[in-house]
Amino acid sequence: MIETWRWFGPLDDIALPEIAQTGATGIVTALHDIPYGEIWPREAIAARKAMIEAAGLHWAVVESLPVHEDIKRGVGDLDRLFANYRQSLANLAAEGITTVCYNFMPLLDWTRTRLDAPLPTGGHALRFSQVEMAGFELHMLQRPGAEADYTPEVIAAAQAWADGADEGERQRLLTAIMSGLPGAYDRYDVAGLRAALAPWAGFTADDLRASFARFLAEVVPTAEEAGIGLCVHPDDPPRPLLGLPRIVSSEADIAAIMAMQDSHANGLTLCSGSLGANPANDVPAIAARFADRIHFAHLRNVAKEPDGSFQEAAHLEGDTDMVALVAALLDEDRRRAESGGRAIPFRPDHGHALLGDLGRKTHPGYPLIGRLRGLAELRGVIAGLGHRA
């Protein structure tokens, strides 16, 4: 398996020489400055690749080559958007970058309600509170029909939260939820989010699946020809959110997507945190079932709560059996080594903000020391399993 590290480009507060000191050799990044739906020019890809290689690293994975919202909704000039996506894939392959992560979540990417949940020993973690999310939907966004998505107990607790939340607390919650928006750095206020949600009214999970099937039909042949492994990232959280459908949340969802295009180019980003937030998911079993279609792995852990809340845990301390999961990935990695296939790139995903991370302006969930702890723990698991083998 290949140790990688997510880097958000030249604006990232964590510099490439710091990443080199972690021991990771691969960089996971994207051309974040290019608007969704536009072509990634080969020259821009080459320039970013050269920047990474100058630090003694290599560009291992694209995360992400974004899918335009019009593709997800099935509206607009789709022929142009599909052509641009195919050209971007070809340009990446021409520069030797052949693992491309993407997601198919409508409008929002990952969503949390708190970016700085305190830890008992100091530091902080990302957290998703079902009560705070309900408080946001019912009392701030005032989304029609939102009551149907929450239990009576959560609705009552959300009312209590709303009764006690001052303007600062409400703004903190909005900021946390908006921090998961993909792409550049635009953020919505409540009115702006209502407007952004409006075009999705009445859009169903079946509608989204139809859009996904068309997307794969349009781009997988190009990926096959270019030798690219496309790998969809699961939903985070793995459930409908803000009235928007989500269709990459369970083992059955993944099986359906893999069947849409039965091709090695149509693969999976195995995210143990996203899948692990769904109580129905057995993440090591999912890894074993879809092992040959896993092109990339995000390794992190979450601790779930009965009401649907969850918090980012230390990599070896959450609900997912990380040792069993890594063992499944190593089994596949050995199989690929014997058959001449590619090793699986993985990265320590998210991490607690610890020690010198506190106060540093890094992306939420992507501190230096917290992720370095996670990488060290995962490296130890891999070494131990390798010794046992």
Provide the pLDDT confidence category of residue 184 given band limits of 50, 70 and 90. very low
Q: What is the pLDDT of residues 119-132, one digit of tens each?
A: 999 999 999 999 99
Which residue is associated with the tokens 């693969």?
267
Alpha-carbon span 98 to 209, nearest angstrom: 25
For residue 327, the number of C-alpha atoms closer than 13 Å in the C-beta half-sphere is: 12
For the record, the structure tokens of 167 come out as 């303007």
Alpha-carbon span 379 to 41, nearest angstrom: 35
Q: Is the pLDDT of residue 183 over 60?
A: no
Query: Class assignment of domain 2-110+202-303+314-388?
Result: alpha beta
Alpha-carbon span 182 to 285, nearest angstrom: 29
Whether 298 is catalytic = yes
Whether 349 is catalytic = yes
What is the four-CA torsion angle of 311, 314, 319, 320, rounded to 10 degrees?
Answer: 120
- Say which of 68, 124, 315, 350 is annotated catalytic: 350
Q: Which DSSP symbol is given to 353? A: B
For residue 188, CA distances in Å to 73, 127, 169 come to 20, 20, 17
Whether 233 is catalytic = yes
Q: What percent of the residues of the chain are helix, what percent strand, and what percent coil, each to the nearest 5?
A: 45, 15, 35
- Say which of 235, 253, 333, 349 is annotated catalytic: 349
Instruction: Report the range of poorest mean pLDDT among 93-102, 137-146, 186-195, 316-325.
Output: 186-195
Q: Is the pLDDT of residue 64 over 50?
A: yes
Would you call the peptide bond into 88 cis, given omega within 30 degrees of 0 as the criterion? no
Provide the pLDDT confidence category of residue 186 given band limits of 50, 70 and 90. low
Longest Cα–Cα distance in the chain = 61
Sign of the CA dihedral running 341, 7, 278, 118:
positive
Its pTM stands at 0.96
Alpha-carbon span 32 to 378, nearest angstrom: 28
Q: What percent of the chain has pLDDT over 90?
A: 96
- Say which of 68, 124, 295, 298 is annotated catalytic: 298
Provide the pLDDT confidence category of residue 182 given band limits of 50, 70 and 90. low
Q: Is the pLDDT of residue 158 over 70?
A: yes
The enclosing H or E element of 336 equals: helix 322-339
Provide the pLDDT confidence category of residue 389 given band limits of 50, 70 and 90. low
- Say which of 68, 233, 295, 352 is annotated catalytic: 233
Q: What percent of the chain has pLDDT over 70?
A: 98
- Say which of 101, 102, 149, 271 is annotated catalytic: 271
For the record, the structure tokens of 195 come out as 């407007």
Whether 292 is catalytic = no
Q: Is the pLDDT of residue 387 over 90?
A: no
Please say whether the beta carbons of 3 and 346 come within 8 A. yes
Q: Is the pLDDT of residue 171 over 60?
A: yes
Please say whether the beta carbons of 269 and 295 come within 8 A. yes
Query: Considering only CA atoms, which of 199, 190, 272, 205 is closest in space to residue 233?
Result: 272
Mean pLDDT, range 64-88, rounded to an integer: 97
pLDDT recorded at residue 181: 74
Q: Is the pLDDT of residue 20 over 70?
A: yes
Mean predicted lDDT score pLDDT of the chain = 96
pLDDT recorded at residue 187: 77
Transcribe 176-241 into DSSP letters. Answer: HHHTT--SSS----HHHHHHHHGGGTT--HHHHHHHHHHHHHHHHHHHHHHT-EEEEEPPSSSS-B
Mean pLDDT, range 127-144, rounded to an integer: 98
Question: Where in the chain are the domains?
Answer: 2-110+202-303+314-388, 114-199
Q: Is the pLDDT of residue 178 over 60?
A: yes
Alpha-carbon span 264 to 304, nearest angstrom: 33
For residue 79, CA distances in Å to 84, 153, 219, 228, 317 come to 9, 47, 11, 21, 46
The enclosing H or E element of 311 equals: strand 310-313
